[in-house]
Amino acid sequence: MDTRFGGKIALVTGGRSGIGLATARRLRDEGARVFTAQRGEDREFEAISVDFTAPTKAAHAIKAVVERAGRLDVLVNNAGVMQEALVEDMSLADWERTIAINLTTPFVLIKAAMPHLRSTGGAIVNVGSIEGLGSNPKHAAYCASKAGLHGLTRAVAIDHGAEGVRCNAVAPGWIDTDLNL
């Protein structure tokens, strides 16, 4: 396998399953030292336990990676939640949880990571969704959160591209993961 990420330090949120696990494995296979951040442990990668329902506490994941590895080159904001409900049936708590995990936590992590990524010429990859560009029935909170993430991605790219920090988003369609069960 290619070693284009040889010597790079990467943090993948939600790296224990689905898209995050596949991304973490690919980065590792291409030479990166990979940390994952999620609730609980990870037997395959160096894990950092994070409760993404409390976004202000998520920044400790960046600090932990830098303390253990000395720097950060790649941040992959992948952790996410989705639930199906009509707006009228959705509780405010469910709306806020979705926005907190899918949009506010990436903002907090990007903010905490920016000084480190600026010094390494690093990259941010935000895992958005085609639902951030359109919509499906009963996915109001998810669509709103992913649309916001795509907007955040564009803003960070414009604000920090000249400093050598790349910020991009991918917009996967339906993929058979735990998120979609």
Is 142 in the active site? yes
| 118 and 160 Cβ atoms separated by less than 8 Å | yes
Residues in the chain: 181
**16: CB partners within 8 A, 6+ apart:** 36, 38, 40, 42, 44, 47
Q: Out of 5, 35, 45, 142, pick the active-site residue.
A: 142
Output DSSP code: residue 116: H
The angle formed by the CA atoms of residues 110, 115 and 119, to the nearest 5 degrees, is: 120
Q: First vs last Cα of the chain: how many Å apart?
A: 32
Phi, psi of 3 (to 5 degrees): -115, 40
For 46-82, the DSSP string reads EEEE--TTSGGGTTHHHHHHHHHHS---EEEE-----
Active site residues: 142
